[in-house]
């Protein structure tokens, strides 16, 4: 067995990279172990199955993303500026990943949703929970902007769903065309979805 001090982390790291490039269905345990440099015994010591590993990868990825979203959306800046900051870190992350591996990998959650949502109930349920959590985070920002009369939406929850769907869809296009330039309309589209009422200078940098 590989060293227990880092074997699990190596398996998770290898699995995440392979999930992003190969998807779930085409990925085998042997391939994961080769990429991680561990024997199969190490894999089954930590994970019952490929599905349980995928769930662990999803949870680890979400833990990091949730921290990043909370940092972007937090603070004392105007709510729309904080929302724009979320889009900026998303774009920067995709650009950095493209420079590293040569392709736009897209969103791990979106990729797995497209591939697995009708195949594996445990993964589908976990992805639902994550997207619901993303919507809740964006909803709080939209509700705050609504109180300040900076946006005009009837239902902050549904508006947040539209914003998250817009973000996810543009990331999908960026992956399809292998171009982060496809993310350029994100912010303008978001403002249109929210019926922004504030003066232009209130959302500086647009």
Q: Using H for helix, E for strand and C for coil, what is the string for the chain?
A: CCCCCCHHHHHHHHHHHHHHHHCCCCCCHHHHHHHHCCCHHHHHHHCCCHHHHHHHHHHHHHHHHHHHHHHHHCCCCCHHHHHHHHHHHHHHHHHHHHHHHCCCCCCHHHHHHHHHCCCCHHHHHHHHHHHHHHHHHHHHHHHHHHHCCCCCCCCHHHHHHHHHHHHHHHHHHHHHHCCHHHHCCHHHHHHHHHCCCCCHHHHCCC
pLDDT digits (tens, 9 = 90+) for 1-40: 445 569 999 999 999 999 988 889 888 999 999 999 999 9
pLDDT of res. 206: 41
What is the mean pLDDT of the segment spanning 87-96?
A: 93
pLDDT of res. 5: 64
Whole-model pTM?
0.89
């Amino acid at each position: 067995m590989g060293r227990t001090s880092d074997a699990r982390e190596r398996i998770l790291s290898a699995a995440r990279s392979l999930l992003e490039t190969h998807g779930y269905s085409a990925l085998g345990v042997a391939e994961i172990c080769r990429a991680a440099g561990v024997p199969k015994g190490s894999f089954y010591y930590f994970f019952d199955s490929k599905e349980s590993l995928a769930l662990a990868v999803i949870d680890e990825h979400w833990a990091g993303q949730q921290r990043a979203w909370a940092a972007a959306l937090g603070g004392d800046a105007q709510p729309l500026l904080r929302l724009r900051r979320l889009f900026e870190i998303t774009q920067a992350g995709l650009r950095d990943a493209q420079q590293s591996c040569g392709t736009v990998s897209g969103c791990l959650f979106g990729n797995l949703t497209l591939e697995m949502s009708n195949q594996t109930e445990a993964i589908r349920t976990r992805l639902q929970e994550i997207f619901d959590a993303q919507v809740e985070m964006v909803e709080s920002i939209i509700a705050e902007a609504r109180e300040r009369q900076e946006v005009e939406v009837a239902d902050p929850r549904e508006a947040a769903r539209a914003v998250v769907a817009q973000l996810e869809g543009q990331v999908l296009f960026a992956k399809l065309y292998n171009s982060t330039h496809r993310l350029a309309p994100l912010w303008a589209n978001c403002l249109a979805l929210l019926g922004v009422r504030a003066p232009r200078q209130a959302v500086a940098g647009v």
